[in-house]
Amino acid sequence: MKTIIILLTIFLVNCNFLAAQDIRAYQQPPQPILSLFEAPSIPEVRISSDGRWMLLLEKQDLPSIAELSQSELRLAGQRINPVNNGLSRAQTFKSLRVIATHSGTEYSLTGLPDDADLSEITWSPDESKIAFLQNGTKGIELWLADLTSFKAHRLSNFFLNNTYGSTLIWNPDGNSMIAKFIPDGRAALKAPSTSQEAPLIQETSGKAAPVPTYQDLLKTPYDEELFDFYFTSQLKEVNLLGESRNLLKPAIIRSMEYSPDGKFILLANITKPYSYQVPINAFPFTTSIFEKDGKLIKKLYDAPLAENIPAGFDGVPKGPRAFGWRADKGAVLYWVEALDNGNPAQQATVRDVVYTQAAPFNQYPLKLADCYFRFSSIVWGDDKVAILTERWWKTRFERRSFIKPSNVNFRVNLYDRYYEDGYSDPGVLVTRKNEFNKPVLLTEFNAIKRISDPDNVGIFTISNGASPEGARPFIQKFNIKTKLMDTIFRSASPHYELPVFFNNGKFMINSRESSDSVPNYFKINLEEKSYTRLTNFRDPYPMLKGVKKQQISYQRLDGISLSGTLYLPAGFKTGDPPLPVLIWAYPREFKTIAAAGQTKGSPHKFSTIGKASPVYWVSRGYAVLDNADMPVVGESNAEPNDTFVEQIRYNAEAAINHLVDMGVADRKRIAIGGHSYGAFMTANLLAHTELFAAGIARSGAYNRTLTPFGFQAEERTYWQAPAVYNRMSPFSYAHKIKTPLLLIHGQADNNTGTFPMQSERFYTALKGHGATARLVLLPHESHAYQAKESLLHMLWEMDSWLEKYVKNK
């Protein structure tokens, strides 16, 4: 009788599951997952450059599927809302609070609209005010908040154009700003006439133009008209009283930047011809300098359509690029030019050259520095110190150099390293504001040797602090003459502390958390070593009390060290029956075994559960291995993808063996899953191994011949490495997949290469060969899912799949 009851129960469970699969409405996951999903989010924090103010930004609630399905235009790689002339899927905030860090007092802004939907929050130069956008249903408004009165109000009656790039920038004097508005009196756009339809023709001139597989591109002449209509802006100067005046003629503005002294505007405008092959950031553009009143001073460069940039991730356009202002001077322009025609395959001793030119911009450009690799960035200090960073993707090499803008012949290499090596990462350079309210290097001179030895100066960096025992963020002072290092602060167990403000003064501000305490912000008195709490964020997941989290380490077959974050259900203890397991991973490419084997993450970080996290299933009785290391290594002349399939198998086998040896996992009840490239990994593991009971693949690409000009970190084309492309395509091995596979994809996926057809055709191949598979297409969703109904349904699908094919296998 007992056997009959068990069999009947199993039959009913399976019947319920099958019946549920026929339901076409959105579903919700079981209550344990739902409770975690509905937990409040922790506010986003932003701190002023002088550490006086802290903004607490509460994220907008998840949109409903009805909101997500509203009208949307997809033009030149951008997705816009035609109703308010703004971005259609941007992250916005529903509230804004302010904390004065000297007292810890919290203030709420008065005057905000009841339907606050805020974005592009921008400090004024002296940080006494903030400007921001209010995304209304009829249009996007420009607002201003004063941090003395804590009052906010709408600044201009005109509607903004927020379709591309930054919408506003402050004048360095803080008394006005320039912003992009919808052109005055813009006439309505006429619908296309069917009588005007004609063949769509594209033609190549015989020049190679390899490009990735982009989404949402222009397709027709009418798309070009729509692009002109919605992306054209009128630049206006708006003062603090809300008074405005037009600057220049309407244009499609790519970028805009005031000179530090506020006398000039560096402006880049997009021009024709547009492209049906590449998105807006590759369209032609003209860079010019204008006086602040709109008078043209000089046209700097007409950048052509960037359809034929040399192949490889180190390829760049020919001609001047990366125009900007020296932050330490009133009006000195800088830019970069490639000496190798932008072609990484061309032999060259010097790859790039950095030039400068001072106002009035009529003298011959001055060479500032040679770059033996690709220019990456420059952080300005003054005439005697600036830090230049170069990179070369092919080898993952990085060099930081100490240069003197006043002496082109002076150069000292500070760091030569491989940037995938986390242990050697010195971190980001710490800056301060100068007399122009622009960020320049924070420096400390040796007071004794200052006159006789002006190069004896220290600079500061803040690093994530990767180490064998896990990430331990630190602040470091580095002497650019002696290269001696002094650690000023370093996070210590049992906390993970990340410095978020430091100016070499009497205090700093840290974010502090532990494995069981939510991140909060503290002001630290550096003399007394005392902590003052600034925020009091509460644990949003009390229902996870008792869940055990630990950082585990193990080795794969060839000796590479791996790690991951393991979550065990509350009450589980050594000796208990092994658990069903969900492993969630994302492959990453490395050029060295040493870098691949480094410890990632920290055992002391609090686990914030994202809306698409795998950690939910610890509440359903699963062991969850999140962020399981999945390195793919190609040393020297070898490329990581040459042995992609073999290496992900080594990684998976190592994780499974370690979990089984720990007594945690039931080897027959382990699922593998991932999103995007993690989905690609999942499908490959099911195609080439029999290690798993089930797989979950979200928004992946499965046929690499559909991304023939490169993907992820693969810069070879299909025609250069056809065997690699075919071997890495699980579509080619669909006939070998016997493990149940759940495929989920957003129907409006706009990520390069992961169009929905990838999942649709892969599912058809699986079905044609008799595999157990399920395809779920989420309406209106992009690469990352947003609507509440979509996310809940996704969790329900995953839970149903895991319950049937893993836990109750």
Q: Are 59 and 94 in contact (CB under 8 A)?
A: yes
- Please, where are the H alpha helices in 399-440? none
Q: Are 791 and 752 in contact (CB under 8 A)?
A: no
What pairing do the DSSP bridges indicate for beta strands 78-81 and 86-87?
A: antiparallel
The question of whether 749 is a catalytic residue gets the answer yes
Query: Is residue 408 classed as helix, strand or coil in its secondary structure?
Result: strand
Phi, psi torsion values for 575, nearest 5 degrees: 100, -15
- Nearest alpha-carbon partner for 63 in 81, 89, 84, 101: 89
Q: Are 421 and 599 in contact (CB under 8 A)?
A: no
Q: Tokens 């009208």 — which residue?
A: 71
Catalytic pick from 676, 729, 759, 790? 676
β partners of residue 746: 778
Give the containing element (helix H, strand E) for 4: helix 2-21
Query: Is residue 58 classed as helix, strand or coil in its secondary structure?
Result: strand
Catalytic pick from 328, 666, 749, 799? 749
β partners of residue 374: 391
- Nearest alpha-carbon partner for 725 in 775, 760, 680: 680
Measured over the CA atoms of residue 436, residue 442, residue 443 and residue 444, the dihedral's sign is positive
Structure tokens given for 309: 């940039």
C-alpha of 215 from chain center: 18
Q: Are 235 and 248 in contact (CB under 8 A)?
A: yes
β partners of residue 567: 549, 624
What pairing do the DSSP bridges indicate for beta strands 665-675 and 694-698?
A: parallel
What 8-state DSSP symbol labels residue 162? B
Catalytic pick from 783, 790, 793, 799? 783
d(Cα 474, Cα 344) in Å, to the nearest integer?
A: 35
Q: Are 416 and 372 in contact (CB under 8 A)?
A: no
User: If phi over 0 gives left and psi between -120 and 50 gives alpha, with beta otherwise, what is residue 731?
Assistant: alpha
What 8-state DSSP symbol labels residue 172? T
Q: For the chain, how many residues are written?
A: 809
d(Cα 368, Cα 364) in Å, to the nearest integer?
A: 13
User: If phi over 0 gives left and psi between -120 and 50 gives alpha, with beta otherwise, what is residue 614?
Assistant: alpha
The question of whether 676 is a catalytic residue gets the answer yes
Taking CA atoms, 34 is separated from 28, 174, 522, 670, 789, in Å, by: 7, 47, 32, 23, 12
Convert 445-468 into a string of H (helix), E (strand) and C (coil): ECCCCCCCCCCCEEEEEEECCCCC
Largest interatomic CA distance in the chain? 97
Q: Residue 184 is which amino acid? A: D
C-alpha of 740 from chain center: 32
Phi, psi torsion values for 37, nearest 5 degrees: -60, -40
d(Cα 553, Cα 535) in Å, to the nearest integer?
A: 34
Q: Are 43 and 519 in contact (CB under 8 A)?
A: no
How many degrees, rounded to 5, is the angle at CA 620 between CA 34 and CA 677? 80
Exposure b/e, 46-73, CB count within 10 A at least 16 = b: ebbbebebbbbbbebebbebeebeeebb
Active site residues: 676, 749, 783
